[in-house]
Amino acid sequence: MTALANGQAWCTFQLAGGDYGVELARVQEVMRSQPVTRLPHAPHAIAGLMNLRGRIVPVVDTRRLLGIDEPRSGDVARSGGLVVVRGAEGPVALLVDAIGDVRRAEDAPPSLPAAESPLIARTLALPGQLLVVLDLDRALERAFASPAAPSPTRADGSRS
């Protein structure tokens, strides 16, 4: 188990009944869901764009990003909340089912070994819950990655 540094904190949120978090230092703000404009031909995990006080911000559907197939109740623009984080290129909104609270290292035991997923930085065993902390840089990189183009198929059905 890995010891956590004092002062380390996470902004938590829920997805399909699970508890997730991102480093609090990367969070710009949390807010109720806003209208999202769909973006044609966007990567699968991009729900669309939103207007954040005059700035156009991409919205990542965190469920799609993590491969959670359970349907979200209601319209994307009306359900849950948004966690606006600082990405490499500017703010990015994470669409979540519900906003949680702030958990600090003082509240948490040592972390469990990281999961096999490259999107997970650590898992914290908290009283009555497991908190899955996302590796925000990897998660955003995957969210904005375009799906690989299929290789051309030859007339005989084989791929080149």
Q: For 77-126, what is each residue's pLDDT tens digit?
A: 455 899 999 999 999 999 999 999 998 876 555 555 555 678 999 888 87
Angle at CA 144, nearest 5°, toward 140 and 150? 135
Residue with tokens 């949120």: 13
- pLDDT tens-digit readout, 34-64: 999 999 999 999 999 999 999 999 999 999 9
Categorize the per-residue pLDDT at 2 as very low, low, confident or very high, splitting at 50, 70 and 90.
very low
Does 1 or 103 have the greater pLDDT score? Answer: 103
pTM of the model: 0.80
Q: Where are the domains of the chain?
A: 9-144
Give the pLDDT score at 115: 56
Give the pLDDT score at 80: 85
**Superfamily of domain 9-144, CATH level 4:** CheA-289, Domain 4 (2.40.50.180)
Give the pLDDT score at 8: 85
Residue 152 pLDDT greater than 60, yes or no: no
What tokens appear for 31 in the block?
């807010």
Which residue blocks in 7-113 are alpha helix, DSSP H?
62-66
Cα torsion through 65, 68, 69, 74, rounded to 10: -90
- pLDDT tens-digit readout, 125-149: 877 778 999 999 999 999 999 765 4
